[in-house]
Amino acid sequence: MMLRTFLAISLTLFASAARAETDIIEVTSEGGIQAWVVEEPSIPFIALEIRFRGGTSLDLPGKRGATNLMMGLLEEGSGDMNAQEFQAAREALAASYRFGSHDDTISVSAQFLTETQDAAIDLLRQAIIAPRFDQDALDRVRAQVLANIASEEKRPNSIASSTFYSAAFEDHPYGTDSNGTVETVNALTQEDMFDAHARALTHDRLYVSVVGDITAAEVGPMLDELLGDLPANGPKLPADIAFGLDGGTTVVDYATPQAVAFFGHAGMKRDDPDFFAAYVLNNVLGSGGFESRLMNEVREKRGLTYGIGTYLVPKFHAELLLGSVASSNTTIAEAIAVTKEVWADTAANGITQEELDRAKTYLTGEYPLRFDGNSEIAKIMVGMQMIDLSPDYVLNRNDYIEAVTLEDVNRVAAELLQPDALHFVVVGQPVGLN
């Protein structure tokens, strides 16, 4: 009946002068479900974030797109309700449920008013535990997925990223579109949906956070009711895979005025001791908005693009350092050449103390500003759990940033940034590129 409260610590962030307080309470329900809770009674609603590790990577051979389609169907009928009855019930509660599927995770995001909490949880439970996968709903959502696939095949950005991932990861799930193909999606059956559901939503891969007008003591029973009946264990996760693409340029001919480039090479694991150095480095290189080197050189000085960005992407089974830029067909070659120069210069010469200091001030100042709403806090907390961080990470995170030295960053720059290994996939009709 009672939950056990393991730990309740008051987390206070000091960043420049900003001080964000987030009291994270760790609870374990009687049924063994662990969750992080923040009690925030000032607005009468609750945000709930649920994740299952695995995601669309759990699709069986020949069933690509099954997990994606299955997640699209959770809101399309469950228990004794068909799709329309379910949605009418949800709308009457003014609750919102979002079901998402990603490479490595399944996500369920819910928002509901305190006053209709019990009914909102009952209805969400029905969608998660007892989906029907009615044939008419399956066919309807399948048609929507097929239309998405057709649209993605004509979007320059999608063509670029899927070409890149396919070349980098080939047959690994990361190498194919999680929507599936026209062929695999057309072949999916009701049985495949039940199967994908049983594989993807399991206790052993579950992460939960709750923020809002609810006490920690109420959360355990709520979660046992909501998720208690899920299967215990999921299937084996896919193997880790090395980034498999050599340096170079791939041009995909496509008639559109602005060429889109998607580029990258191998990255760094999230639990690597150098991750914070890489994170600071990436901020200076290409993720620091107008202050980044790439934004400054490619946009501010030369006017070659509206935006260029780079991203450290530590997936669960592979690590990448990615970037993207778009420029007219006549100027994309220059944009790419400048990008390569910045990459090579940063690898060879590192960043300056001034850049390091500026990045640290920004990163440590910006961190507490992220905790600015129930859903945002819930999302941050569930993400932390998925990468094995403890609640006190919120307290210590800025210390990790501050501890990064110029020597660290520049050693990591020399190791991580590999100008010759950068591969650019360019979609468009670029002039001066082969």
Partner 1 sequence: MKRFLAALAMLTTTAAAQAEEVTTYTLENGMEVVVIEDHRAPVVVHMVWYKIGSADEPVGSSGVAHFFEHLMFKQTDILESGEFSATVAANGGSDNAFTSYDYTAYFQRIAADRLELMMQMESNRMTNLAITADNIATERNVVLEERNQRTENNPSALAREQFNAAQFQNHRYGVPVIGWKHEMEQLNLDDALAFYDLYYSPNNAVLVVAGDVEPDEVRALAETYYGVIPAEPNLPERIRPQEPPQRAERRITYTDPRVGQPYLIRSYLAPERNPGSQEEAAALVYLARLLGGSPFTSDLGVALQFDSQTALYTNASYDGSSLDTTTFSLVVAPAADVTLSAAEAAMDQVIADFMASDIDPERMNTIRTQLHAAEVYALDDTQGLAHRYGAALTQSLTVADVQAWPEVLQSVTAEDVKAVAAKVFNRDQAVTGWVVADPEDAQ
CB of 25 to partner 1, least distance (A): 17
Q: How far is CA 71 from the centre of its chain?
A: 16
Q: Beta-strand (E) ranges in 77-217?
A: 77-78, 81-82, 96-101, 105-113, 206-212
CB of 237 to partner 1, least distance (A): 33
CB of 402 to partner 1, least distance (A): 13
Of 95 and 128, CB closest to partner 1:
95
Q: Are 310 and 322 within 8 A, CB to CB?
A: yes
Neighbouring C-alpha atoms within 13 Å toward the C-beta of 200: 34
CB of 204 to partner 1, least distance (A): 32
Pull the structure tokens for residue 100: 């998402």
CB of 175 to partner 1, least distance (A): 22
Of 34 and 258, CB closest to partner 1:
258
Of 61 and 257, CB closest to partner 1:
257
CB of 29 to partner 1, least distance (A): 26
Amino acid at 148: N
Of 44 and 244, CB closest to partner 1:
44
Of 362 and 424, CB closest to partner 1:
362
Pull the structure tokens for residue 88: 């009418």
| DSSP characters over 179-224 | T--HHHHHH--HHHHHHHHHHHS-GGGEEEEEEESS-HHHHHHHHH
Say if strands 45-53 and 308-314 run parallel, antiparallel, or are unpaired: unpaired
Of 6 and 306, CB closest to partner 1:
306
d(CA 11, CA 166): 43
